[in-house]
Structure 1
Amino acid sequence: MSANPSFLTRLSGWGTAPKIFFRRELLPVLADLRLAIVLLLAIAVFSISGTVVEQGQAAAFYQANYPEHPALFGFLSWKVLLTLGLDHVYRTWWFLALLILFGSSLTACTFMRQLPALRWFSRTSRKFYSQPRQFQKFALSAEFEQTSLDDVLPLLEEQRYKLFRQDDALYARKGIIGRIGPIVVHASMLLILVGAIVGALTGFVGQEMVPSGQTFQIKNILDAGPFAESQIPKDWSVKVNRFWIDYTPAGAIDQFYSDMSVLDSDGKEVKRKTIHVNEPLRYRGVTLYQADWGISAIQVRINNSPIFQLPMAQLDTGGKGGRIWGTWIPTKPDLSAGVSLIAKDLQGMLLIYDTSGKLISTVRAGMSTPVNGVTLAVKEIVGSTGLQIKADPSIPIVYAGFGLLMLGVMMSYVSHSQIWALQKDGQLYIGGLTNRAQVAFEREMLEILERLDTQKQETKAAVVV
């Protein structure tokens, strides 16, 4: 039984059809500069929106700041923000799709235009011109009598041209690095895009408010990629040894500090550093920034009692600005009486109010005051450090991409200059072109032509003599 030849032909051709479609139809579309510009603008617009709209906040935050009535610009409400994912722009599927599509466009452009052009330049056999009419296309060319290629060679070598000769034809070039520069730029942008995708998929952002003296593990994650679980540390913790604030003579905050230790799973200190704003702690790809502060507790003594610690909570100021913390301190063992204590910082005056809301006394840390028939001594105000925690494995990739981008841009500024020469029928034809710095190239060419003309005149004079 024999197979149908036409069927076998169609079957073997079925696998090549997608390849032909991809090569002839899809690749030219992806490599289109207009598509790349549109994608780049879209990425820029959504990146700006991610900067303007606060990222990674709770739904209540967006409900309070982006109400439905009236909606911002008439349509931008909290429902629209959450539906489109504008509360976490850089991790949405559509933003990642834009990055992948833009990367595909750059890759297609590199393989369809940049690399073929580079391969063409490497094939010196295609560079030689054999007909005088080919020199007519150059804007800058000349024709000499009684001049040979041997007269041109030393002049081009002085200008650091790389020379290729084939019989009576000559090709010279320099600045080939300028042709490689755009390819390096494309590669760097692809590296940056890969870094952005890796960061969106594997990075996380967390926040912790930790009282001075306590140890914590990173658990309060605000925003994380789908594969960020491996980046969240589980085998080490951090201890806040001490938190303090430096104040200016006027009483304003100058700087706040956190002395922190990284502890391994056995509780052994493996790293210690005092951090402040713009000076974070980094460990195993996780960065802890000093971002905020608060008052977590107060240590007091009633008469001769042991020192005990009471938590303090931040109070609502009704939008009047500033922050205050308060707690209630019992002055009787049965908790039937007590006072309220208010603080606004770690060094200022503490205000004491009775149950009717009347200010009855003031006190500072390290001092005591009589209230309700007892002596209230304030030993210490315990501060808490606010930490912003980030992990982004893509940072080395992105930094390498930007470094490569700067290198590619500098390479692209190098002019790629080419000069052709042909000796035929007793005549020497010479011409050249460059891709940039046209004026400098014209001066260089004119200098070479003038020196050739001078050599010709000297040769004639020597013959006459």
Structure 2
Amino acid sequence: MEEQREGIVEDIWRVFSSMKLGLVLLGLVALASGLGTVFPQANIEPEKAKAVGQFWQMLGFTQVYSTIWFRLLLGLLCINLIVCSLQRFQGIYNRTFALKSPETVSSVPNKIRTTIPGESESLKTSVQNVLKRKGFKVTTTVGDKGWSFIAIKRRWGNWGSLISHISFVVLVIGAIMGTTMGFKGFFMVGAGTTIPISSINVSKGTVKQDFSVHIYSAEDRILANGERDNWYTDMSIIENGQEITRQTISVNHPLKYKGVTFYQSSFANGARLTVDIKDQKIPVVLQDHGGNYFQAPGTDLYLIAEAIRSDPQKPMMLYRVYKGKGVQPVQTGQISAGETIDIQGEYKLTLDGNAGFTGLQVKQDPGVIVVWTGCALLLLGLLLSFYWRTMVVSGVFESGQLTMGAMAGKTAGGAKQEFDDLIQDIQAK
């Protein structure tokens, strides 16, 4: 039974250590990502995603990156990369820190190779001095028939490919953390509004925080020359009834609190109004072009702003009032700043002035640091692989001549030139 269990483990290890499996999984992930590009994704284009056929929606093509089968592919690819990395680790370690001098001439690399005749001790001294001066770490072994050596330079270049493979695992882990542990949402509210973060529209993930956001003001600033400056939102975080922090954010200048980031995303004009119902004053903020509505308590009347003039000197609003489920307005008109009108005999309405509506993207992504770590590892791996390639030089002295060769992976051209320079310096000594 024990042998059978060990055999099963070896079979699983053999499967996941296969480079062919890695290529197949990588191809499937690329294909799935392509589908996510071709098909509109529900979290980005919800209306277009709904128009896709039910069959494709059922397969998850409109939410590729959050499906179980896509995450399974990523998980299997990670396992494959980890197993391959573990399998290669010992060999890379030995090539870096456990090099042994060749015992015979046949063990000397023959792709880049030459022979140097000379006296034993003078050649040994010359080889050691030249290699050390060139930055090599030299190990010399004395045998019965002569001596041998091995020298390594830029040893950390051996780890470039392994670090690059590990970086992909880290990137995938970071991406999975972002989609499973974080959330992404959006809300648009008017100035003077307080909204619990748990009530925002979420496109992915779940909001677990319980603080609120208060919007003091939202502004679309225009420069003196008529060009737009930026959108600005003066906002604060309220937790347990206390204002914790307050900041004015703008595009590319977000607010961060407890891992949640608020990004300035959009802006819309609005109007500040006061509703008087039986001497009860209710502040109301309406968005331009019917972005929201006000339903008077105890009535089935719905008030929207059809159009708003945002001129700070002469604010004005065109309004419509609907009753119940009716599609035709029961009252329309316009109202200027400071003016009070009657709405169907149910309440009085006063326009107080302009008010901006701010659109904020809200995101919590605990995998960001992991993703950046993966990017740094990938960059490090590429730099080591292409610009810090290891070079190993070894040789055996027998019968009055030194047979010397070099290994440098696939960089035969550069290594050959560097090797030739070493030979010239050794002979000159």
Letter in 2 for 1:452: I
Structure 2 counterpart of 1:39 = 25
In the alignment, residue 342 of structure 1 is paired with which amino acid? E
The residue that corresponds to 1:419 in the other structure is 393
What letter is aligned with 1:111?
L
Partner SS, residue 65 of structure 2: helix
Task: Tell me by how many angstroms 1:377 deviates.
Answer: 6.2
SS in 1 for 2:63: helix
In the TM superposition, 1:46-445 aligns within 5 A as: 46-51=32-37, 53-56=40-43, 62-63=49-50, 65-66=51-52, 77=53, 79-124=54-99, 127-135=100-108, 137-147=110-120, 148-167=123-142, 168-219=147-198, 220-225=200-205, 228=206, 232-234=208-210, 236-247=211-222, 255-265=230-240, 267-294=241-268, 298-299=272-273, 309=283, 312=286, 323=289, 342-344=306-308, 346-347=310-311, 350-351=317-318, 366=337, 368=339, 378-413=351-386, 414-445=388-419
Unaligned 5+ segments in structure 1 are 1-13, 67-76, 315-322, 456-465
1:328 and 1:341 in contact (8 A); partners too: no
Deviates more, 1:49-58 or 1:267-276: 49-58
Q: SS of 1:393's equivalent?
A: coil
SS at match of 2:209: coil
Aligned mates of 1:132, 1:326 — CA distance in 2: 85
1:85-138 Cα deviation digits (max 9, x unpaired): 2333222111110111010110111011243332354323xx322323444733
Normalised TM-score (structure 1): 0.74
- The residue type equivalent to 2:19 in the other structure is L
Counterparts of 2:248 and 2:34, CA distance in 1: 34
| Separation of aligned partners in 2, 1:340 and 1:269 | 32
Seen in structure 2, the aligned counterparts of structure 1 residues 48 and 174 have a Cα distance that, compared at 3 Å, is same
Could you tell me which of 447, 452, 455 is aligned with 2:426?
452
Offset of residue 382 of structure 1? 3.5
The alpha carbon displacement at 1:248 in A equals: 6.2
In the alignment, the residues of structure 2 paired with residue 184 and residue 213 of structure 1 have an alpha-carbon distance, to the nearest angstrom, of: 51
| Partner Cα distance (1:286, 1:326) in 2 | 26
Partners of 1:33 and 1:104 lie apart in 2 by: 12
Distance 1:402 1:389 in 2: 24
CA contact (8 A) 1:243 1:258 kept: yes
Task: Quote the residue 2:325 is aligned against.
Answer: none
Secondary structure of the residue that 1:429 maps to in structure 2? strand
> Given that residues 329 and 341 in structure 1 are in contact (C-alpha distance below 8 angstroms), is that contact kept between their aligned partners in structure 2?
no
Question: Is this contact kept in 1: 2:190–2:285, CA < 8 A?
Answer: no
**What is the alpha-carbon distance in structure 2 between the residues aligned to residue 252 and residue 353 of structure 1?**
32
AA of the residue aligned to 1:182: S
Task: Indicate conservation of the 8 Å contact 1:132/1:429, yes or no.
Answer: yes
What SS does the aligned partner of 2:103 have? coil
* 2:12 corresponds to 1:26: yes
Aligned residues of 2:270 and 2:308 also touching (Cα < 8 A): no
CA distance in 2, matches of 1:442, 1:340: 79
Following TM superposition, by how much is the alpha carbon of 1:192 offset from its aligned partner in structure 2, in angstroms?
1.4
Q: Deviations over 1:225-246 (max 9, x none)?
A: 4xx4xx5212x21111112222
Secondary structure of the 1:129 match is coil
Q: Distance in 1 between matches of 2:368 and 2:74?
A: 17
Equivalent residue for 1:460?
none
Letter in 1 for 2:239: D
Structure 2: distance between partners of 1:179 and 1:439: 18
> What count of residue pairs does the alignment treat as equivalent?
403
Contact 1:361–1:369 (CA under 8 A) maintained in structure 2: no
Contact 2:271 2:352 in 1 (8 A): no
Structure 1 vs Structure 2 CA RMSD? 3.8
Unpaired segments ≥5 residues, structure 2:
323-327
Given the superposition, is the C-alpha separation of residues 424 and 260 from structure 1 closer, same or farther in structure 2, using an over 3 Å criterion? same
Q: Kindly, what percent of the aligned residue pairs are identical?
A: 24
CA distance in 1, matches of 2:46, 2:424: 76
Q: Name the CA shift for 1:96/1:325 in 2 (closer, same or farther; >3 Å).
A: closer
Aligned 8 A contact 2:285 2:355 in 1: no
Q: Give the TM-score normalised by the residue count of structure 2.
A: 0.80
Q: Distance in 2 between matches of 1:239 and 1:18?
A: 61
Q: Deviations over 1:52-72 (max 9, x none)?
A: 523337976533x33xxxxxx
Q: Distance in 2 between matches of 1:156 and 1:343?
A: 81
Distance in 1, Cα, partners of 2:293 & 2:310: 15
